[in-house]
Amino acid sequence: MSGEPATLPGLLRAKGLQHGGHVALAGTDGSVLTYSELAHKVSDIASRLRERGVTRQDRVAIVVPDGPAMALAFLGAATCAVSAPLNPNYRQEEFEYFLTDLRAKILITAGGGRTPAVAAAGALGIEMLDIGNHGHRGDAALDEPPPDAVALVLHTSGTTAKPKQVPLAHANLMASARNICASLNLSSRDRCLNVMPLFHIHGLAAGLLAPLCSGGSVICTPGFLVTEFFAWARALNPTWYTAVPTMHQALLARAETHPEEVYKGFRLARSSSSPLAPATMRGIEGVLGAPLIEAYGMTEAAHQIASNRLPPGKRQPGSVGRPAGPDVAVMNDAGDLLAAGEIGEIVIRGPNVMPGYVNNPEANRSAFLNGWFRTGDQGYLDAGGALWLTGRIKEIINRGGEKISPREIDEVLLGHPAVQQAVTFAMPDPLLGEGVAAAVVLRDGLSSAEQELRAFVAARVAYFKVPARIVFVREIPKGPTGKPQRIGLAGTLGVVAGPVPESASHVPPDTEVERLLAILWEEVLKREGVGATDDFLSLGGNSILAAQLAARISTGLGIDLSVGDLFDAPTVRAQAAVLEAILLDEPAL
């Protein structure tokens, strides 16, 4: 759009002139930054990076907990270099892989401490910049990069174990932000309660950049906490939020048990990153008294591709709406565009679509056809132009918005001495949409148990990648060409999400802390008879329920634990040992 900022520095300058005294960023602790203050803070971080020799082509990795500091770190890095936010829940080995793959010049952290990211950077000799405690260094002007300069690199899981690097230019990000603003009719009066992580394109584009593009405000939360969501809303008066379906489902459950907490001030809610059940849409709209707008996006499109419309526009439950930014079409295997109602692969092109994966000509040859980017999703456009998703061509597991490469988990499982073959696949999950499962063939004469293998994987990858179910088979089902068939394997093996049948060897909780934890587990999992050695994932646990459990532990014992901490200690007994060590101020064994 002519006259609109085409870069992030241009956006900050324009909004500083238009809305200098208006709140740009707010924290759940009551802290605020106006647009003028935001520009100063961002220029300060950019100046510190330039002092370290960082150039516009350099990669700046970011590992900062969600909140205003993470937003500042991203904007500061992206305005003067190539920002590369990473998931703080990764293990040290994963950080070493990503930092090496990025060829990161520097790592931004906040608050210090010996974290896995800091350990990885230290092992690799990568310089670090802690933005958690420093004074303001002046009002250096932000340089204006070319619109096609890369501002952000994110990794997206591929069908191989090696993730692909997605480069997004300033122009890509600004086009997507404007598209989201237009779809939701955002204005400077709107306040977004952002509960999406800022290392994902959903959180960056919809939760941060779109509100800033509108001149509105962003409330940067420390992440999605269902026990705090409505309290934050009542205190800070947001007008909208964007989330994945699992979060909406958790909010519905919270509203049912705590109706007095519900906040009625939302103008709208938005859902993206995985399919939204029509029942969830109806439920949220009934609870909030506001429309829930489902959208469709992906990293390679700088997020938004299609979106339903606000009333009086059309919202079609089950559809992801009409194209909302890029051109959208449906293509057959030969590259022919299909007519309305015909099912094929969804393809896109437009100013928000990345130019191609970094240093990956093979992936680019398969990803682009006749000028269109192939999304890997299957669907059709109806006669009215609405887009309907019918499946996925790619093998990627979409676990509540977290994209997981099954082959990465295969390789981890194959590192166990008892595992001869392993195939990881998606299984249906009523809360997450898809869960992670694996079929394993053991070596002759060797044995292992599901919980042992899960613990083996958990020690090597982030908790959200750990299979919730592992089934042992004599032979991996294969297709006619002899290749293991991941897609549909859950149905073939009869694997579904939910608690694993109870073991006969029930171990009752022994200590006071174990008994308290068992009660909390039973409340969160809605399950009786939890034992000391029961596994959280085996009983139907997931990251949303773990967040609820962490909040209850914090309330009951006054100890702050992360979701990752809970997955590191997957049993009641293991969690009790961690808690008792903290209470005694001693390291856990």
383 vs 508, more confident: 383
Residue range 512-584, CATH number: 1.10.1200.10
- Which pLDDT value is given to residue 541? 78
Q: What is the pLDDT of residue 140?
A: 61
Distance CA 464, CA 458 (A): 9
Q: How many CB atoms lie within 10 A of CB 501?
A: 7
Angle formed by the axes of helices 572-584 and 512-525, nearest 10°: 130
CA distances from 345 to 342, 375, 392, 460 (A): 10, 7, 9, 34
pLDDT of residue 1: 46
Residue 523 pLDDT more than 90? no
- Contacts for 118 with CB less than 8 Å, ≥ 6 apart: 107, 109, 128
pLDDT on residue 388: 94
Tallying the residues shown for the chain, one arrives at 589
Q: Mean pLDDT in the chain?
A: 89
> Mapped to the 3 state alphabet, what secondary structure does 508-556 carry?
CCCCHHHHHHHHHHHHHHCCCCCCCCCECCCCCCCHHHHHHHHHHHHHH
Amino acid at 459: A
From its phi and psi, is residue 370 left (phi > 0), alpha (psi between -120 and 50) or beta?
Answer: left
Stretch 548-574: mean pLDDT? 77
Q: What is the pLDDT of residues 335-359, one digit of tens each?
A: 999 999 999 999 999 999 999 999 9
CATH class of 397-493: alpha beta
pLDDT at res. 571: 85
- Supply the pTM of this predicted model: 0.79
- Residue 85 preceded by cis peptide, ω within 30: no
**SS3 of residue 361 by DSSP:** helix
CA dist., res. 416 & res. 425, Å (int)? 18
Residue pair 552/524 in contact (Cβ under 8 Å)? The answer is yes
β-bridge pairing 106-109 and 127-130 = parallel
Judge whether residue 308 has pLDDT over 50: yes
Q: What is the arithmetic mean of pLDDT over 490-514?
A: 75
Which pLDDT score is estimated for 273? 83
Q: Per-residue pLDDT for 502 more than 90?
A: no
Q: What pLDDT does residue 588 have?
A: 42
Amino acid 481: pLDDT = 39
Phi, then psi, of 235 in degrees rounded to 5: -80, -30
pLDDT band at 138 (very low <50, low <70, confident <90, very high): low
In percent, how much of the chain has pLDDT > 70?
93
Whether pLDDT at 482 is above 70:
no
Record the tokens describing residue 544, joined without a space: 């949303």
Q: Choose the weakest-confidence range: 63-77, 125-139, 166-180, 313-327.
A: 125-139
Question: 109 with 64: CB under 8 angstroms?
Answer: yes
Cβ-contact 45, 77 below 8 angstroms: yes
Predicted local distance difference test score (pLDDT) of residue 418: 93
Which pLDDT does position 442 carry in this prediction?
Answer: 92
Q: What would the pLDDT profile of 438-448 be if each residue is shown by its tens digit?
A: 999 998 899 99
Lowest mean pLDDT among 27-36, 266-275, 390-399: 390-399
Which residues, 6 or more positions from 110, have their beta carbon under 8 angstroms from its beta carbon? Answer: 64, 65, 69, 70, 73, 130, 131, 132
**Sequence-ordered list of residues with C-beta below 8 angstroms from that of 122, at least 6 positions apart, any chain:** none
Instruction: Give phi and psi for 132, each to the nearest 5.
Output: -75, -20
Q: Is 79 helix (H, G, I), strand (E, B) or coil?
A: helix
- Please indicate whether residue 416 or residue 278 has the higher confidence score (pLDDT): 416
Q: Is the pLDDT of residue 160 over 60?
A: no
Residue 363's pLDDT band (cuts 50, 70, 90): very high
Q: What pLDDT shows up at residue 480? A: 46
587 falls in which pLDDT band (50, 70, 90)?
Answer: very low
Average pLDDT for 226-232: 96
With cut-offs at 50, 70 and 90, classify the pLDDT of residue 585.
low
Q: What is the CATH number of domain 8-381?
A: 3.40.50.12780
Judging by beta carbons within 10 Å of its beta carbon (0-12, 13-18, 19+), is residue 359 exposed, middle or buried? exposed
- Residue 361 burial by CB count (10 A; 0-12/13-18/19+): exposed, middle or buried? exposed
* Ramachandran area for residue 34 (φ above 0: left; ψ -120 to 50: alpha; else beta): beta
Greater model confidence, 7 or 143: 7
273-300 average pLDDT score: 92
The pLDDT of residue 319 is above 70: yes
- The domain limits of the chain are 8-381, 397-493, 512-584
Question: Mean pLDDT throughout 368-387?
Answer: 95
Tell me: pLDDT of 589 over 70. no
Task: Give residue 196's region: left, alpha or beta (phi > 0; psi -120 to 50).
Answer: beta
